[in-house]
A and B are shown apart, each in its own frame.
Chain A
Amino acid sequence: MTPESAPQPLVLRREAFGGILFDPLDGTYLELDPEGFEVVRGWLVDGRAPATPEEQSFVESVHREMPTLAAGSRRVRARIEVEAMAPTQHATVLASPTLVDLQVTNRCTVGCPQCYASSVPDGEHMAFEDAARILHELAAAGVCQIAIGGGEPLLHPQIVEIIELAYDLGIVPNVTTTGLALTPRVLETMARCCGAVALSLEDVGEGFAKRRKTGAGFFEASLEKLRAHKIRTVFQVTLSAENLPRLPAIVDYCLAVPDLYGVIFLAYKAVGRGDGYDTQLSAVHPGELYPWLREAFLRLSGHTKVGYDCCITPGIAGIDVELGFTDLDLLEGCSAARTSVGISANLEVVPCTFTTHLPLGNLAQRSFMDVWHGSPSTGFRTALDTQGDARTETCSPCRLRNSCLGGCPVWDLVRCTTRPPELDG
Protein backbone atom coordinates (compact mmCIF):
# COMPACT_ATOMS: atom_id res chain seq x y z
CA MET A 1 0.00 0.00 0.00
CA THR A 2 1.40 3.36 -1.00
CA PRO A 3 -1.18 5.94 0.00
CA GLU A 4 1.04 8.83 -1.00
CA SER A 5 0.98 7.76 -4.62
CA ALA A 6 -2.53 6.27 -4.58
CA PRO A 7 -4.92 8.24 -2.41
CA GLN A 8 -8.24 6.68 -1.57
CA PRO A 9 -10.77 7.03 -4.39
CA LEU A 10 -13.58 9.51 -4.35
CA VAL A 11 -17.01 8.15 -3.50
CA LEU A 12 -19.88 8.90 -5.87
CA ARG A 13 -23.32 7.57 -4.94
CA ARG A 14 -26.78 8.04 -6.34
CA GLU A 15 -29.50 8.89 -3.82
CA ALA A 16 -33.19 9.73 -4.00
CA PHE A 17 -32.43 13.45 -3.75
CA GLY A 18 -29.67 13.24 -6.37
CA GLY A 19 -26.40 11.92 -5.10
CA ILE A 20 -23.32 12.15 -2.90
CA LEU A 21 -19.72 13.02 -3.63
CA PHE A 22 -17.23 12.32 -0.82
CA ASP A 23 -13.49 12.92 -0.77
CA PRO A 24 -11.59 10.72 1.70
CA LEU A 25 -8.60 13.04 1.53
CA ASP A 26 -10.19 15.59 3.84
CA GLY A 27 -13.67 14.26 4.57
CA THR A 28 -15.49 16.77 2.40
CA TYR A 29 -19.01 15.56 1.63
CA LEU A 30 -21.33 17.12 -0.92
CA GLU A 31 -24.98 16.33 -1.53
CA LEU A 32 -25.96 17.13 -5.09
CA ASP A 33 -29.35 17.55 -6.70
CA PRO A 34 -30.24 15.18 -9.58
CA GLU A 35 -29.03 17.46 -12.35
CA GLY A 36 -25.82 18.23 -10.51
CA PHE A 37 -25.21 14.56 -9.82
CA GLU A 38 -25.57 13.68 -13.49
CA VAL A 39 -23.09 16.36 -14.47
CA VAL A 40 -20.56 15.16 -11.87
CA ARG A 41 -21.15 11.56 -12.88
CA GLY A 42 -20.54 12.36 -16.53
CA TRP A 43 -17.44 14.31 -15.61
CA LEU A 44 -15.84 11.91 -13.13
CA VAL A 45 -17.03 8.50 -14.32
CA ASP A 46 -17.56 8.87 -18.05
CA GLY A 47 -14.89 11.50 -18.65
CA ARG A 48 -17.47 13.72 -20.32
CA ALA A 49 -16.67 17.40 -20.47
CA PRO A 50 -19.38 19.80 -19.29
CA ALA A 51 -21.61 20.54 -22.26
CA THR A 52 -22.95 23.96 -21.37
CA PRO A 53 -21.67 27.06 -19.62
CA GLU A 54 -24.00 26.24 -16.73
CA GLU A 55 -22.53 22.76 -16.40
CA GLN A 56 -19.03 24.16 -16.59
CA SER A 57 -19.81 26.63 -13.86
CA PHE A 58 -21.26 23.86 -11.73
CA VAL A 59 -18.14 21.75 -12.15
CA GLU A 60 -16.11 24.78 -11.16
CA SER A 61 -18.18 25.23 -8.02
CA VAL A 62 -17.61 21.58 -7.10
CA HIS A 63 -13.89 22.22 -7.55
CA ARG A 64 -14.12 25.18 -5.21
CA GLU A 65 -15.89 23.25 -2.48
CA MET A 66 -13.67 20.21 -2.93
CA PRO A 67 -10.27 21.71 -3.68
CA THR A 68 -8.54 18.37 -3.17
CA LEU A 69 -9.88 17.39 -6.59
CA ALA A 70 -7.07 19.43 -8.05
CA ALA A 71 -4.46 17.38 -6.19
CA GLY A 72 -3.92 15.10 -9.14
CA SER A 73 -5.28 12.03 -10.79
CA ARG A 74 -7.97 10.41 -8.65
CA ARG A 75 -9.89 7.19 -8.85
CA VAL A 76 -13.64 7.07 -8.29
CA ARG A 77 -15.78 4.50 -6.51
CA ALA A 78 -19.05 5.00 -8.28
CA ARG A 79 -22.29 3.43 -7.10
CA ILE A 80 -24.81 4.51 -9.67
CA GLU A 81 -27.51 1.88 -9.98
CA VAL A 82 -29.04 2.15 -6.54
CA GLU A 83 -32.67 1.61 -5.74
CA ALA A 84 -33.69 4.50 -3.56
CA MET A 85 -35.24 3.98 -0.17
CA ALA A 86 -38.96 4.44 0.26
CA PRO A 87 -39.52 8.12 0.97
CA THR A 88 -40.30 9.17 4.51
CA GLN A 89 -42.22 12.25 5.43
CA HIS A 90 -39.66 13.96 7.60
CA ALA A 91 -36.39 12.12 7.69
CA THR A 92 -34.09 11.64 4.73
CA VAL A 93 -32.96 8.04 4.51
CA LEU A 94 -29.94 7.18 2.41
CA ALA A 95 -29.73 4.12 0.17
CA SER A 96 -26.93 2.99 2.45
CA PRO A 97 -25.24 4.71 5.39
CA THR A 98 -22.32 7.05 4.92
CA LEU A 99 -21.00 6.34 8.43
CA VAL A 100 -20.83 3.03 10.26
CA ASP A 101 -19.76 2.66 13.86
CA LEU A 102 -17.80 -0.57 14.08
CA GLN A 103 -17.32 -1.99 17.57
CA VAL A 104 -14.45 -4.38 16.98
CA THR A 105 -14.23 -5.53 20.58
CA ASN A 106 -15.99 -5.32 23.90
CA ARG A 107 -12.72 -5.78 25.76
CA CYS A 108 -11.27 -3.01 27.87
CA THR A 109 -9.10 -3.22 30.94
CA VAL A 110 -9.68 0.30 32.21
CA GLY A 111 -13.16 -0.08 33.72
CA CYS A 112 -14.38 3.50 33.53
CA PRO A 113 -17.55 3.85 35.63
CA GLN A 114 -19.53 5.66 32.92
CA CYS A 115 -18.77 3.20 30.07
CA TYR A 116 -21.94 2.97 27.97
CA ALA A 117 -20.66 -0.25 26.36
CA SER A 118 -20.12 -1.99 29.72
CA SER A 119 -16.77 -3.17 28.40
CA VAL A 120 -14.87 -5.64 30.53
CA PRO A 121 -11.33 -7.12 30.61
CA ASP A 122 -12.51 -10.45 29.20
CA GLY A 123 -14.81 -8.95 26.57
CA GLU A 124 -15.05 -10.64 23.18
CA HIS A 125 -13.24 -9.49 20.07
CA MET A 126 -14.94 -9.45 16.70
CA ALA A 127 -13.19 -12.16 14.68
CA PHE A 128 -10.94 -10.69 12.04
CA GLU A 129 -12.61 -12.83 9.38
CA ASP A 130 -15.97 -11.32 10.31
CA ALA A 131 -14.54 -7.80 10.38
CA ALA A 132 -12.99 -8.32 6.95
CA ARG A 133 -16.22 -9.66 5.49
CA ILE A 134 -18.18 -6.75 6.94
CA LEU A 135 -15.69 -4.20 5.63
CA HIS A 136 -16.03 -5.65 2.13
CA GLU A 137 -19.82 -5.36 2.44
CA LEU A 138 -19.55 -1.77 3.65
CA ALA A 139 -17.26 -0.89 0.78
CA ALA A 140 -19.70 -2.40 -1.70
CA ALA A 141 -22.50 -0.40 -0.07
CA GLY A 142 -20.59 2.84 -0.61
CA VAL A 143 -19.94 3.62 3.04
CA CYS A 144 -17.62 6.62 3.31
CA GLN A 145 -16.28 6.42 6.86
CA ILE A 146 -16.23 4.05 9.79
CA ALA A 147 -15.83 4.98 13.45
CA ILE A 148 -13.90 2.12 15.01
CA GLY A 149 -14.61 1.74 18.70
CA GLY A 150 -15.06 -0.73 21.48
CA GLY A 151 -14.25 -1.57 24.21
CA GLU A 152 -10.75 -0.42 23.63
CA PRO A 153 -10.30 -1.09 19.92
CA LEU A 154 -6.53 -1.05 20.11
CA LEU A 155 -6.66 -4.20 22.24
CA HIS A 156 -7.95 -6.11 19.22
CA PRO A 157 -5.05 -8.32 18.12
CA GLN A 158 -5.64 -7.48 14.43
CA ILE A 159 -6.50 -3.80 14.81
CA VAL A 160 -3.71 -2.79 12.43
CA GLU A 161 -5.00 -5.18 9.80
CA ILE A 162 -8.57 -3.91 10.26
CA ILE A 163 -7.52 -0.28 9.85
CA GLU A 164 -5.39 -1.08 6.81
CA LEU A 165 -8.11 -3.16 5.17
CA ALA A 166 -10.67 -0.38 5.58
CA TYR A 167 -8.22 2.06 4.04
CA ASP A 168 -7.41 -0.24 1.15
CA LEU A 169 -11.13 -0.71 0.46
CA GLY A 170 -11.57 3.03 0.18
CA ILE A 171 -13.29 3.56 3.53
CA VAL A 172 -11.89 6.20 5.88
CA PRO A 173 -11.11 4.51 9.22
CA ASN A 174 -11.46 6.69 12.33
CA VAL A 175 -10.71 5.43 15.82
CA THR A 176 -11.80 6.30 19.35
CA THR A 177 -9.36 5.13 22.01
CA THR A 178 -8.42 5.56 25.63
CA GLY A 179 -4.79 5.50 24.52
CA LEU A 180 -4.13 1.94 25.64
CA ALA A 181 -1.82 0.04 23.30
CA LEU A 182 -0.69 3.05 21.30
CA THR A 183 2.29 1.10 20.07
CA PRO A 184 4.67 2.43 17.42
CA ARG A 185 3.10 0.10 14.85
CA VAL A 186 -0.42 1.24 15.70
CA LEU A 187 0.62 4.89 15.63
CA GLU A 188 2.32 4.49 12.26
CA THR A 189 -0.78 2.79 10.86
CA MET A 190 -3.07 5.48 12.22
CA ALA A 191 -0.90 8.22 10.79
CA ARG A 192 -0.94 6.55 7.39
CA CYS A 193 -4.58 5.46 7.21
CA CYS A 194 -6.88 7.17 9.70
CA GLY A 195 -8.96 10.22 9.09
CA ALA A 196 -9.00 11.17 12.76
CA VAL A 197 -8.45 9.63 16.17
CA ALA A 198 -10.53 10.60 19.20
CA LEU A 199 -9.72 10.72 22.88
CA SER A 200 -12.52 11.11 25.41
CA LEU A 201 -12.41 14.01 27.83
CA GLU A 202 -15.19 14.47 30.38
CA ASP A 203 -13.29 16.59 32.88
CA VAL A 204 -9.90 18.10 33.54
CA GLY A 205 -7.73 18.41 36.61
CA GLU A 206 -8.67 16.33 39.62
CA GLY A 207 -12.01 15.40 38.11
CA PHE A 208 -10.40 13.57 35.21
CA ALA A 209 -9.34 10.48 37.13
CA LYS A 210 -12.80 10.03 38.62
CA ARG A 211 -14.15 9.39 35.12
CA ARG A 212 -11.13 8.00 33.31
CA LYS A 213 -9.27 5.43 35.34
CA THR A 214 -6.16 5.87 33.21
CA GLY A 215 -5.62 9.30 34.76
CA ALA A 216 -4.76 12.69 33.33
CA GLY A 217 -1.07 11.94 32.94
CA PHE A 218 -1.79 8.95 30.73
CA PHE A 219 -4.23 11.04 28.70
CA GLU A 220 -1.62 13.72 28.08
CA ALA A 221 1.01 11.14 27.19
CA SER A 222 -1.40 9.60 24.67
CA LEU A 223 -2.14 13.01 23.23
CA GLU A 224 1.56 13.69 22.79
CA LYS A 225 2.04 10.39 20.98
CA LEU A 226 -0.75 11.25 18.55
CA ARG A 227 0.60 14.75 18.03
CA ALA A 228 4.13 13.48 17.50
CA HIS A 229 2.85 11.32 14.66
CA LYS A 230 0.79 14.21 13.24
CA ILE A 231 -2.42 12.24 13.67
CA ARG A 232 -5.55 14.37 13.50
CA THR A 233 -6.82 14.29 17.06
CA VAL A 234 -10.32 14.93 18.31
CA PHE A 235 -11.52 15.37 21.88
CA GLN A 236 -14.92 13.85 22.53
CA VAL A 237 -16.61 15.60 25.42
CA THR A 238 -19.62 13.75 26.79
CA LEU A 239 -21.79 16.17 28.70
CA SER A 240 -24.13 15.40 31.56
CA ALA A 241 -25.90 17.51 34.15
CA GLU A 242 -22.98 16.81 36.51
CA ASN A 243 -20.04 17.91 34.37
CA LEU A 244 -21.78 20.75 32.55
CA PRO A 245 -20.40 23.32 35.03
CA ARG A 246 -16.94 21.99 34.23
CA LEU A 247 -17.34 22.95 30.58
CA PRO A 248 -15.42 26.24 30.80
CA ALA A 249 -12.43 24.45 32.32
CA ILE A 250 -12.63 21.75 29.65
CA VAL A 251 -12.70 24.43 26.96
CA ASP A 252 -9.71 26.15 28.58
CA TYR A 253 -7.81 22.89 28.33
CA CYS A 254 -8.79 22.37 24.68
CA LEU A 255 -7.73 25.90 23.79
CA ALA A 256 -4.25 25.18 25.15
CA VAL A 257 -3.75 22.19 22.86
CA PRO A 258 -2.18 23.18 19.56
CA ASP A 259 -3.15 21.56 16.28
CA LEU A 260 -6.30 20.02 17.68
CA TYR A 261 -8.42 18.70 14.81
CA GLY A 262 -11.74 19.12 16.59
CA VAL A 263 -13.80 19.02 19.76
CA ILE A 264 -17.05 17.06 19.70
CA PHE A 265 -19.79 17.48 22.26
CA LEU A 266 -21.94 14.48 22.98
CA ALA A 267 -25.01 13.99 25.12
CA TYR A 268 -24.55 11.52 27.96
CA LYS A 269 -26.81 8.49 27.68
CA ALA A 270 -27.79 6.50 30.75
CA VAL A 271 -26.97 3.13 29.26
CA GLY A 272 -24.60 0.30 30.05
CA ARG A 273 -22.37 0.67 33.09
CA GLY A 274 -22.92 4.39 32.88
CA ASP A 275 -26.61 4.06 33.71
CA GLY A 276 -27.06 5.98 36.93
CA TYR A 277 -23.53 7.35 37.04
CA ASP A 278 -24.56 10.72 35.64
CA THR A 279 -27.75 12.55 34.82
CA GLN A 280 -28.84 13.19 31.26
CA LEU A 281 -28.92 16.75 29.98
CA SER A 282 -32.69 16.60 29.80
CA ALA A 283 -32.58 17.39 33.52
CA VAL A 284 -31.10 20.78 32.72
CA HIS A 285 -33.45 23.56 31.76
CA PRO A 286 -32.80 24.49 28.14
CA GLY A 287 -32.50 28.11 29.14
CA GLU A 288 -29.50 27.08 31.22
CA LEU A 289 -28.05 24.50 28.85
CA TYR A 290 -27.87 26.66 25.77
CA PRO A 291 -25.66 29.40 27.26
CA TRP A 292 -23.15 26.77 28.42
CA LEU A 293 -22.98 25.24 24.98
CA ARG A 294 -23.05 28.58 23.18
CA GLU A 295 -20.11 29.86 25.17
CA ALA A 296 -18.11 26.71 24.54
CA PHE A 297 -18.86 26.68 20.82
CA LEU A 298 -18.02 30.35 20.37
CA ARG A 299 -14.75 30.11 22.29
CA LEU A 300 -13.60 27.01 20.45
CA SER A 301 -14.73 27.91 16.96
CA GLY A 302 -11.73 30.14 16.34
CA HIS A 303 -9.33 27.46 17.54
CA THR A 304 -10.52 24.19 16.04
CA LYS A 305 -13.46 22.45 14.43
CA VAL A 306 -16.47 22.31 16.72
CA GLY A 307 -18.87 19.44 16.45
CA TYR A 308 -21.75 17.73 18.12
CA ASP A 309 -23.47 14.39 18.04
CA CYS A 310 -26.91 14.43 16.52
CA CYS A 311 -28.45 13.54 19.90
CA ILE A 312 -27.72 17.02 21.18
CA THR A 313 -29.28 18.92 18.28
CA PRO A 314 -32.41 20.22 20.06
CA GLY A 315 -30.14 21.74 22.69
CA ILE A 316 -28.09 23.79 20.25
CA ALA A 317 -30.80 25.15 17.99
CA GLY A 318 -29.77 28.68 17.20
CA ILE A 319 -26.02 28.14 17.34
CA ASP A 320 -25.89 28.04 13.56
CA VAL A 321 -27.24 31.58 13.45
CA GLU A 322 -24.86 32.73 16.17
CA LEU A 323 -21.89 31.33 14.30
CA GLY A 324 -23.00 32.97 11.08
CA PHE A 325 -24.10 30.01 9.00
CA THR A 326 -26.52 30.87 6.27
CA ASP A 327 -28.26 27.56 5.72
CA LEU A 328 -31.31 27.02 7.90
CA ASP A 329 -31.08 23.30 7.53
CA LEU A 330 -27.64 22.59 8.92
CA LEU A 331 -28.44 21.33 12.39
CA GLU A 332 -29.53 17.78 11.79
CA GLY A 333 -31.24 15.40 14.11
CA CYS A 334 -30.94 11.70 14.74
CA SER A 335 -28.92 9.99 12.04
CA ALA A 336 -29.54 6.46 13.34
CA ALA A 337 -30.63 4.07 10.58
CA ARG A 338 -30.97 7.06 8.25
CA THR A 339 -27.40 7.99 7.40
CA SER A 340 -25.47 5.99 10.00
CA VAL A 341 -25.68 2.71 11.82
CA GLY A 342 -23.76 0.72 14.39
CA ILE A 343 -22.34 -2.79 14.34
CA SER A 344 -21.64 -4.46 17.68
CA ALA A 345 -18.78 -6.84 18.36
CA ASN A 346 -21.28 -9.72 18.24
CA LEU A 347 -22.16 -8.68 14.64
CA GLU A 348 -25.51 -7.22 15.63
CA VAL A 349 -26.50 -4.19 13.60
CA VAL A 350 -28.05 -1.51 15.81
CA PRO A 351 -29.46 1.95 15.04
CA CYS A 352 -26.59 3.46 17.01
CA THR A 353 -24.16 2.09 19.55
CA PHE A 354 -26.35 3.30 22.42
CA THR A 355 -29.38 1.30 21.29
CA THR A 356 -28.14 -2.26 21.54
CA HIS A 357 -31.59 -3.24 22.85
CA LEU A 358 -33.04 -2.49 19.41
CA PRO A 359 -31.25 -4.96 17.11
CA LEU A 360 -31.84 -4.59 13.41
CA GLY A 361 -30.30 -7.88 12.32
CA ASN A 362 -27.19 -9.97 12.78
CA LEU A 363 -24.51 -10.06 10.12
CA ALA A 364 -23.80 -13.69 10.92
CA GLN A 365 -27.12 -14.51 9.28
CA ARG A 366 -27.90 -11.62 6.95
CA SER A 367 -26.11 -9.34 4.56
CA PHE A 368 -25.49 -5.75 5.59
CA MET A 369 -27.68 -4.30 2.85
CA ASP A 370 -30.45 -6.75 3.68
CA VAL A 371 -30.39 -5.52 7.27
CA TRP A 372 -30.32 -1.88 6.13
CA HIS A 373 -33.41 -2.41 3.97
CA GLY A 374 -35.09 -4.94 6.28
CA SER A 375 -38.21 -4.45 8.33
CA PRO A 376 -36.64 -3.72 11.72
CA SER A 377 -34.71 -0.85 10.16
CA THR A 378 -37.82 0.34 8.42
CA GLY A 379 -39.71 0.17 11.71
CA PHE A 380 -37.16 2.37 13.42
CA ARG A 381 -37.44 4.93 10.64
CA THR A 382 -41.21 4.79 10.83
CA ALA A 383 -41.02 5.51 14.54
CA LEU A 384 -38.78 8.49 13.87
CA ASP A 385 -41.21 9.70 11.25
CA THR A 386 -44.16 9.15 13.57
CA GLN A 387 -42.40 11.24 16.16
CA GLY A 388 -42.04 13.92 13.51
CA ASP A 389 -45.77 13.77 12.85
CA ALA A 390 -46.61 13.98 16.52
CA ARG A 391 -44.35 16.98 17.01
CA THR A 392 -45.75 18.90 14.13
CA GLU A 393 -47.80 21.06 16.43
CA THR A 394 -45.16 21.73 19.05
CA CYS A 395 -42.38 22.17 16.52
CA SER A 396 -44.33 24.06 13.89
CA PRO A 397 -42.90 27.49 14.76
CA CYS A 398 -39.34 26.18 14.54
CA ARG A 399 -37.37 26.67 11.35
CA LEU A 400 -35.42 23.47 12.16
CA ARG A 401 -38.42 21.19 12.48
CA ASN A 402 -37.62 19.22 9.32
CA SER A 403 -33.99 18.64 10.20
CA CYS A 404 -33.92 18.40 14.00
CA LEU A 405 -36.57 15.64 13.92
CA GLY A 406 -37.54 16.33 17.50
CA GLY A 407 -34.59 14.78 19.28
CA CYS A 408 -33.55 11.22 20.06
CA PRO A 409 -36.43 8.82 19.35
CA VAL A 410 -35.31 6.44 22.10
CA TRP A 411 -33.86 8.38 25.02
CA ASP A 412 -34.96 11.63 26.57
CA LEU A 413 -31.50 13.17 26.25
CA VAL A 414 -31.88 16.90 25.90
CA ARG A 415 -34.68 19.40 26.02
CA CYS A 416 -35.32 21.77 23.17
CA THR A 417 -33.55 25.05 23.48
CA THR A 418 -35.55 28.12 24.32
CA ARG A 419 -34.02 30.38 21.76
CA PRO A 420 -33.92 34.14 22.02
CA PRO A 421 -36.43 35.47 19.47
CA GLU A 422 -33.77 37.30 17.50
CA LEU A 423 -32.13 33.98 16.66
CA ASP A 424 -35.14 32.77 14.76
CA GLY A 425 -34.55 35.27 12.05
Chain B
Amino acid sequence: MRIIRIRRGFTTNSSGANEFLPTGGVRPTVSPAAPGPAVLTTVQPWGDAPSMNAPPSNATTIGVVSVVVAGAFLVIPAIRLLRKKKEKEPHDDDA
Protein backbone atom coordinates (compact mmCIF):
# COMPACT_ATOMS: atom_id res chain seq x y z
CA MET B 1 0.00 0.00 0.00
CA ARG B 2 1.33 3.39 -0.88
CA ILE B 3 0.64 7.00 -1.67
CA ILE B 4 0.97 7.37 -5.42
CA ARG B 5 1.01 11.13 -5.73
CA ILE B 6 0.80 14.24 -3.61
CA ARG B 7 -0.33 17.70 -4.61
CA ARG B 8 -0.64 20.64 -2.33
CA GLY B 9 -2.46 23.90 -2.57
CA PHE B 10 -5.54 25.66 -3.82
CA THR B 11 -6.13 25.95 -7.54
CA THR B 12 -7.30 29.21 -9.07
CA ASN B 13 -6.49 28.36 -12.62
CA SER B 14 -8.71 26.81 -15.25
CA SER B 15 -6.07 24.52 -16.66
CA GLY B 16 -4.16 23.65 -13.55
CA ALA B 17 -5.47 20.62 -11.74
CA ASN B 18 -1.83 20.06 -10.86
CA GLU B 19 -1.09 23.69 -10.43
CA PHE B 20 1.75 23.97 -7.95
CA LEU B 21 5.07 22.28 -8.27
CA PRO B 22 4.96 19.65 -5.53
CA THR B 23 7.33 19.60 -2.63
CA GLY B 24 7.72 15.86 -2.80
CA GLY B 25 7.00 12.94 -5.01
CA VAL B 26 6.12 9.30 -4.82
CA ARG B 27 6.92 8.18 -1.33
CA PRO B 28 7.30 4.81 0.27
CA THR B 29 4.51 4.69 2.77
CA VAL B 30 5.48 1.94 5.15
CA SER B 31 7.39 3.44 8.02
CA PRO B 32 8.42 2.01 11.35
CA ALA B 33 6.66 4.81 13.24
CA ALA B 34 3.83 3.91 15.57
CA PRO B 35 0.38 4.87 14.30
CA GLY B 36 -1.50 7.78 15.68
CA PRO B 37 -5.13 7.45 16.69
CA ALA B 38 -7.78 8.18 14.13
CA VAL B 39 -9.44 11.48 14.95
CA LEU B 40 -12.26 11.43 12.43
CA THR B 41 -15.56 10.87 14.10
CA THR B 42 -18.37 11.86 11.79
CA VAL B 43 -19.27 10.22 8.52
CA GLN B 44 -21.23 12.00 5.83
CA PRO B 45 -21.42 9.71 2.82
CA TRP B 46 -22.70 10.80 -0.56
CA GLY B 47 -24.80 7.74 -0.93
CA ASP B 48 -25.12 5.91 -4.20
CA ALA B 49 -23.21 7.27 -7.12
CA PRO B 50 -25.19 8.20 -10.21
CA SER B 51 -25.42 5.46 -12.78
CA MET B 52 -22.79 5.71 -15.46
CA ASN B 53 -25.05 3.82 -17.84
CA ALA B 54 -28.01 6.14 -17.61
CA PRO B 55 -29.01 7.30 -21.08
CA PRO B 56 -28.86 11.00 -21.72
CA SER B 57 -32.00 12.98 -22.24
CA ASN B 58 -32.58 13.81 -25.90
CA ALA B 59 -30.43 10.80 -26.57
CA THR B 60 -30.90 10.67 -30.31
CA THR B 61 -30.07 14.31 -30.99
CA ILE B 62 -27.18 14.32 -28.59
CA GLY B 63 -25.89 11.08 -30.03
CA VAL B 64 -25.72 12.52 -33.54
CA VAL B 65 -24.07 15.70 -32.31
CA SER B 66 -21.69 13.68 -30.22
CA VAL B 67 -20.50 11.63 -33.17
CA VAL B 68 -19.84 14.80 -35.17
CA VAL B 69 -18.03 16.50 -32.31
CA ALA B 70 -16.02 13.40 -31.46
CA GLY B 71 -15.01 13.16 -35.10
CA ALA B 72 -13.79 16.72 -34.96
CA PHE B 73 -11.69 15.91 -31.91
CA LEU B 74 -10.00 13.14 -33.84
CA VAL B 75 -9.46 15.20 -36.97
CA ILE B 76 -7.90 18.25 -35.27
CA PRO B 77 -4.90 16.45 -33.79
CA ALA B 78 -4.51 14.39 -36.94
CA ILE B 79 -4.18 17.57 -38.99
CA ARG B 80 -1.71 18.93 -36.51
CA LEU B 81 0.36 15.79 -36.69
CA LEU B 82 0.37 15.81 -40.47
CA ARG B 83 1.52 19.43 -40.45
CA LYS B 84 4.25 18.67 -37.99
CA LYS B 85 5.30 15.66 -39.98
CA LYS B 86 5.60 17.85 -43.06
CA GLU B 87 7.61 20.35 -41.10
CA LYS B 88 9.82 17.62 -39.76
CA GLU B 89 10.71 16.02 -43.09
CA PRO B 90 13.20 18.67 -44.25
CA HIS B 91 14.85 18.52 -40.88
CA ASP B 92 15.16 14.75 -41.15
CA ASP B 93 16.69 15.11 -44.57
CA ASP B 94 19.24 17.51 -43.18
CA ALA B 95 20.09 15.01 -40.51
Residues of A bordering B, CB below 8 Å: 9-10, 17-18, 26-33, 35-36, 39, 43-45, 47, 49-50, 54-63, 65, 69-70, 72-83, 97-99, 101, 140-142, 145, 147, 149, 172, 174-176, 194-198, 232, 234, 236, 261-262, 264, 266, 297, 301, 305-311, 319-320, 323, 325-330, 332, 334-336, 339-340, 342, 352-354, 358-361, 365-367, 369-370, 373-376, 378-380, 382-384, 386-387, 390, 409-410, 412
Contacts and interface: CB of A to CB of B under 8 A. Distances in A.
A56 B34 CA distance: 7
A87 B4 CA distance: 18
Interface of B: 1-27, 29-36, 38-46, 48-50, 52-54, 56-58, 62-63, 65-67, 69-74, 76-78, 80-81
B25 A308 contact: no
B20 A305 contact: yes
Contacts, number: 314
A27 B11 contact: yes
24 contacts: A27-B7, A27-B9, A28-B7, A31-B6, A43-B38, A44-B38, A45-B45, A57-B31, A58-B29, A72-B39, A76-B45, A78-B45, A83-B49, A149-B14, A262-B20, A264-B19, A325-B24, A325-B25, A353-B14, A365-B57, A375-B66, A386-B74, A390-B81, A409-B76
Contacts of B22: 325, 327, 330
Contact of B70 (A310, A369, A379): A379
A65 B67 CA distance: 44
Contacts of A60: 31, 33-36
B33 to A, nearest CB: 5
Contacts of B71: 379
Say whether chain B's binding surface is mostly helix, strand, loop, or mixed. loop
Contact of A379 (B23, B43, B56, B66): B66
B40 A73 contact: yes
B24 A326 contact: yes
B44 A75 contact: yes
A61 B14 contact: no
B10 A376 contact: no
**In the complex, the 5 A-B pairs of residues with the closest C-beta atoms, listed nearest first:** A327-B25, A379-B70, A195-B10, A56-B35, A375-B66
